[in-house]
Structure 1
Amino acid sequence: MLELGLYACVFVLIFSAFLGANAFESIPITVSGTANKIIFDGKWTHEFEWKQSSLNTYSYANNTSIVLRSSHQGDFIYIFLDPITDYYLDTMNDYAVVCFDAANNKSPMSNIGDYCFKTSLQGETSTYQGGYSNGTNHFNKIPNPDGFIGVSAVSDINDRYTAVPHPSYEFRVPTNLIGRESVYGFYFLVYDGHSKNTYTYPQNLEFDSDIGISSPDQWGEIYSPDKSLPEFGFPTISLVLTMVLTLLFTVIVRKNPLTRIRNDKIRF
């Protein structure tokens, strides 16, 4: 029994470590057949515009909610951020940032494979690349790449979640820049210029950057199940469970008197 208890303790420790390392919920991103028809005006333009995309909703303090829609088609990833409870319209001050890391190496310092994209309400759009020793949080502003779109506007009655006007943000990110992968390190931030609060995925992150970028080791993940990628996390869990169950079964068989008798008869 002591041996069995030791194996159980090992399992609990391994499983706890796994959960601790993946405290965020990974985001599935779906393939779309209609994303190339999106009208990039910074809002949900018509009933079906972002319908063929993954849906994730995040809740924060003060009854704040942010909707994320994501999809990919061809050479682009499409992101729609909808802070549906921000009823104060702060032109140029409200903004959103999305970041991708194709290597998903969770490094504490950014590298040249880390890219972030920022757009402000009815304002300008910027692209940032990691790996710069003199940049803000090691990110430096670079020219916007070909094919990239980032735009923000005030929502209208076509918004799927509320008819109350609020900022919303649309992005089209070229995969020839960030790399074509089944799983990316992923991060977003939405800044409310009225309350001066920031809302992030993963939630409640801190950052030193004035552009709102946390270090890549704090980013979550976005993955594509339709690219033959198993749903994130389960392969690792299955491997751990298989190992532990095999060990437990071996211990039980060895300690079972009937098994020992059968083995003795076979040897006889």
Structure 2
Amino acid sequence: MNKPALTVFLVICLLLSFNTVRALVVNGELQVLFSLDIPTIDGQWTTATEWTDASETKLENTVNMTGYLRVKHNSTCIFILLDFATDYSRSTYDLVGVCFDRFDNGGILPQSDDYLFGIQAGQTPSQVDIFQGTGTGEQPRDAWTRVFLFDVEGRANYSHVNDPYEGTLDHRTYEFQIPCKYLGAAEGYGFYAFACDYHSNSMLEWPLNAGGNWTRMQPLFNVPPSPQNWGTMADNFIPEFSSNIFALLLILAVLAATLVNKKKFRL
């Protein structure tokens, strides 16, 4: 095999070795937009425009409950709004949570790269409860352990002011600010979000029909299904530099240098 043919063969092999499809994209993909406009984390639409530059996903369930998930980020944090537009009750036991799978590798049980950030609306409306996966247990709910991370902000509130979805009646709205340093740089993360309404004994989740499990009085960590059922949050953070890509660039550089040297020699 001559050198040009060998080079082409090696390049093709490297391209085929790339894992270009993330494990959880099949469950749905949520786009995240970059923004320089930092929202006020107070559990409501502080202004009518603070979330208009975020991605928007509508959430619904079989009992006609409706909500909206909005997500955006800057270079340091991910910002999340979950507007439960039809949760008009001010129950002490309303819950909300967002989950991240740092490596987007799924699995049956939450692993150490999986995090759950949650708020118990009526009990600790200004406190985020944080759990990390352990990979042990018989069910997903058994594999969470409480951890403490600094600079994570979250707030539950009850308002309608400036709200584009329900501007007349007060209802539950939640906001999070999660530092990117806990998630790392990647092209995407596994992601799951839920909000539970105690009064109607129902919940909203993304991805839709992911299999979240909740009934009244259950704790936060009982809700998330297996990470293999989560969707993917796709963003434009600086991606991790693949060793495969480095090898490909190295081969191309060597090939270019060889061709240049040949031309010089012929001259």
Query: What TM-score results when the alignment is normalised by the length of structure 2?
Result: 0.71
CA contact (8 A) 1:191 1:197 kept: yes
Q: Which residue of 1 aligns with 2:29?
A: 26
Q: How many Å apart are 1:47 and its aligned residue?
A: 1.3
Gaps of 5+ in 2: 1-20, 241-267
CA contact (8 A) 1:148 1:172 kept: yes
SS at match of 1:176: helix
CA-to-partner distance for each residue in 1:198-239, whole Å, 9 max, x for gaps?
A: 22111223356842121111101110157589xxxxxxxxxx
Q: Which residue of 1 aligns with 2:230?
A: 219
User: Which one of 172, 179, 182 corresponds to residue 167 of structure 1?
Assistant: 172
Q: Which residue of 1 aligns with 2:195?
A: 190
SS at match of 1:62: coil
Q: How many Å apart are 1:178 and its aligned residue?
A: 1.9
- Decide which structure has the larger Cα Rg and report it: 1
CA contact (8 A) 1:30 1:226 kept: no
Corresponding position: 1:206 with 2:207 = no
Aligned equivalents of 2:141, 2:150: Cα separation in 1: 23
CA contact (8 A) 2:60 2:67 kept: yes
CA contact (8 A) 2:129 2:146 kept: yes
CA contact (8 A) 2:205 2:212 kept: no
Distance change (3 Å), C-alpha of 1:86 and 1:101: same
Distance change (3 Å), C-alpha of 1:114 and 1:190: same
Q: How many Å apart are 1:188 and its aligned residue?
A: 0.6
Distance change (3 Å), C-alpha of 1:192 and 1:126: same
Higher mean alpha-carbon deviation, 94-103 vs 175-184, is at 175-184
Gaps of 5+ in 1: 1-17, 230-268
Q: What is the RMSD of the two structures over their aligned residues, measured on CA atoms?
A: 2.3
Q: Which residue of 1 aligns with 2:113?
A: 113
* Equivalent residue letter for 2:181: N
Q: Which residue of 2 aligns with 1:51?
A: 52
Query: What TM-score results when the alignment is normalised by the length of structure 1?
Result: 0.71
* Equivalent residue letter for 1:34: D
Q: How many Å apart are 1:22 and its aligned residue?
A: 5.1
* Equivalent residue letter for 1:146: F
CA contact (8 A) 2:29 2:233 kept: yes
User: Which one of 139, 156, 160 corresponds to residue 160 of structure 2?
Assistant: 156
CA contact (8 A) 1:41 1:151 kept: yes
SS at match of 1:137: helix
Distance change (3 Å), C-alpha of 1:95 and 1:138: same
Aligned equivalents of 2:55, 2:213: Cα separation in 1: 30
Distance change (3 Å), C-alpha of 1:24 and 1:207: closer
Identify the structure with the greater helix proportion. Answer: 1
Alignment of 1:1-268 (within 5 A): 23-35=26-38, 38-91=39-92, 93-124=93-124, 125-131=128-134, 133=136, 136-143=141-148, 145-163=149-167, 164-207=169-212, 210-211=219-220, 212-225=223-236
Aligned equivalents of 2:212, 2:142: Cα separation in 1: 9
